Structure 1
Amino acid sequence: MARPDSSRPRAPENEREACPCGGLAFADCCGRYLEHGDIPPTAEALMRSRYTAFVRHDAPYLLDTWAARTRPAALDFADAPQWLGLQVKAHVQHDDTHAEVEFVARYKVGGRAHRLHERSRFERSNDGRWRYIDGDLFE
């Protein structure tokens, strides 16, 4: 079921456009989660959908997929970077409810290119949904 929040960004005009996460077409990739309410089946799928949500400034999706104990009260995209690409380096499934995803996300701020290299931690809650807990940044 799609989320009724009309304040979230719209999907690409052409649903066949490439998904920002580097996967398939948006409609066949993260669009299933952001637009149609499907549940990401793995921590990696959730991480990719969260990257796409950051690209699209989709705060409701990001907050909903964040573990309650570490979730911020709100997100501010006023000074948000321009996200350029995502590369997943590793996905480690520790057990049925805990996983880590290491990734590099490229972005620009003020015309300068940067990289965010993080190992994110995820947990699956009792409702079967994966949620982001936190992450460690690499230098």
Structure 2
Amino acid sequence: MPQPLPSRPCPCGRTGVAQKPLPFAGCCGRYLDHFDTAPAPDAESLMRSRYTAFVAERADYLLATWHASHRPASIEFDPGVKWLGLEVRSHRRLDATHAEVEFVARQKPAGGPAVRLHERSRFIHEDGRWYYVDGDIQ
């Protein structure tokens, strides 16, 4: 799947001033394209960038942002999946190193009906960056 265009709206749906969609380059693109030097500043931004990485099929970013305690050896993408949108329901910082994000991501598998993934995800802050740990499907 091709990378989103820098000036196009970011797949994560984050908006800025006047509720206008942020461009990919000014939103999740800076984290995906510069992982080593631009870590996501909070758990919500990391979760949004991980959604965008699923849209762009960026396994490298997904694996790099997955905490080592739960990181899979590899990620396979289902062919023909169309991502339909992301809704962040809540973002809670639990303490200095832990946070939760509740979200709903919608997708349409090739040849099948649209589905919703509703998850409460857990994140940890280590060595100056946030990592996805795991989540509970709602």
Q: Which runs of 5+ in 2 are unaligned?
A: 15-21
Match of 1:11 among 3, 13, 24: 3
Matches of 2:13 and 2:103, distance apart in 1 = 12
Q: Which runs of 5+ in 1 are unaligned?
A: 1-8
The CA deviation at 1:128 is 1.1
Determine helix, strand or coil for the equivalent of 2:106.
strand
Q: Which amino acid aligns with 1:11?
A: Q
Query: 1:35: which partner in 2?
Result: 33
Cα RMSD (Å): 1.4
* 1:22 has 2:13 as partner: yes
Determine helix, strand or coil for the equivalent of 2:4.
coil
Change (3 A) 1:16 1:62: same
Instruction: Say if 1:46 and 1:131, in contact at 8 Å, map to a contact too.
Output: yes
Matches of 1:51 and 1:80, distance apart in 2 = 16
Determine helix, strand or coil for the equivalent of 2:114.
strand
Instruction: Say if 2:104 and 2:116, in contact at 8 Å, map to a contact too.
Output: yes
The CA deviation at 1:16 is 1.1
Instruction: Say if 1:92 and 1:100, in contact at 8 Å, map to a contact too.
Output: yes
Residues 28-107 of structure 1: pairs in structure 2 closer than 5 A: 28-37=26-35, 38-79=38-79, 81-107=81-107
The CA deviation at 1:82 is 1.8
Deviation readout 1:99-130 (Å, 9 max, x if unpaired): 000000011012411111000000001x1110
The CA deviation at 1:26 is 0.1
Determine helix, strand or coil for the equivalent of 1:47.
helix
Determine helix, strand or coil for the equivalent of 2:25.
helix
Matched-pair identity in %: 59
Q: TM-score, normalised by structure 2?
A: 0.87
Q: TM-score, normalised by structure 1?
A: 0.87
